[in-house]
Amino acid sequence: MAWWKNVFTAFVCVSVPFLALTLCNAQDDATLQESDDTLSIFESRINALIEENIMLKKKLKDFDSGLSSVQRGAFSGADTKSQKLQEENQSLSGELEKKDKEIVALQKQLANLKESNQDAEPASKSKLKSLEAEVQSLRAQRDESSKENASLRGQLEKAKDEIAVVADLQSKLKSLEDAAQSLRTEIEESSKEKSELRGQMEKAKGEIAAAASVSEAFNKLQEENKELRENVAALQEANSAQALERTMLEAMLRRHPQGLKPPQPAGPDEGNFDVMIHTNLGFAYAMKENIDEAVREYQQALSANPEDKDIHYNLGYLLNKQNNYSEAIKEYSQALKGTPQDQEIYYNVALIYALGLKDVKTAEEYHQKFLSLASPDSGSSSPVEEAGKAK
Q: What is the pLDDT of residues 31-61, one digit of tens each?
A: 556 666 766 776 777 778 778 778 877 776 7
The radius of gyration of the chain from alpha carbons, rounded to an integer in Å, stands at 72
Q: What percent of the chain has pLDDT over 70?
A: 69
pLDDT at position 379: 47
pLDDT at position 242: 60
The SS3 call for residue 341 is: coil
Angle, in degrees to the nearest 10, between helices 122-253 and 33-71: 10
Q: For residue 108, is pLDDT > 80?
A: yes
pLDDT at position 323: 95
Q: d(Cα 134, Cα 287) in Å, to the nearest integer?
A: 160
Query: SS3 sequence, 54-99?
Result: HHHHHHHHHHHHHHHHHHCCCCCCHHHHHHHHHHHHHHHHHHHHHH
Q: Is 260 left (phi over 0), alpha (psi -120 to 50) or beta?
A: beta
H helix or E strand, kind and range, residue 260: none
Q: For residue 176, is pLDDT > 50?
A: yes
- Which residue did the predictor score with more confidence, 113 or 357? 357
pLDDT range class, residue 278, cuts 50, 70, 90: very high
pLDDT digits (tens, 9 = 90+) for 222-243: 888 788 788 878 777 766 656 6
Residue 10, amino acid: A
Domains in the chain: boundaries: 2-182, 254-390
- Which residue did the predictor score with more confidence, 214 or 382? 214
Q: For residue 15, is pLDDT > 80?
A: no
- Please state, as a whole number, how many other Cβ atoms lie within 10 Å of the Cβ of residue 300: 17
SS3 content of the chain, % helix, strand, coil (to 5): 85, 0, 15
pLDDT digits (tens, 9 = 90+) for 293-320: 999 999 999 999 999 999 999 999 999 9
51-59 contacts, C-beta under 8 A, 24 or more apart: 52/95, 53/8, 53/11, 53/12, 53/15, 56/8, 56/11, 56/92, 56/95, 57/5, 57/8, 59/88, 59/92
pLDDT range class, residue 386, cuts 50, 70, 90: very low
Q: d(Cα 152, Cα 113) in Å, to the nearest integer?
A: 37
Residue 124, amino acid: S
Q: Are 328 and 282 in contact (CB under 8 A)?
A: no
Burial of 228 (0-12, 13-18, 19+ CB in 10 A): exposed
Q: For residue 157, is pLDDT > 60?
A: yes
Q: d(Cα 274, Cα 292) in Å, to the nearest integer?
A: 20
Q: d(Cα 27, Cα 363) in Å, to the nearest integer?
A: 164
Q: What percent of the chain has pLDDT over 90?
A: 23
Over residues 265-290, mean pLDDT: 82
pLDDT at position 64: 64
CA nearest neighbour of 245 among 391, 368, 344, 353? 353
H helix or E strand, kind and range, residue 233: helix 122-253
- Which residue did the predictor score with more confidence, 209 or 78? 209
Does the domain at 254-390 match CATH 3.40.190.10? Answer given as no
pLDDT range class, residue 4, cuts 50, 70, 90: low
For 246-284, give the DSSP string. Answer: HHHHHHHHTSPPP-PPPPPPP-SSHHHHHHHHHHHHHHH
Burial of 70 (0-12, 13-18, 19+ CB in 10 A): buried
Provide the mean pLDDT of the chain.
Answer: 77
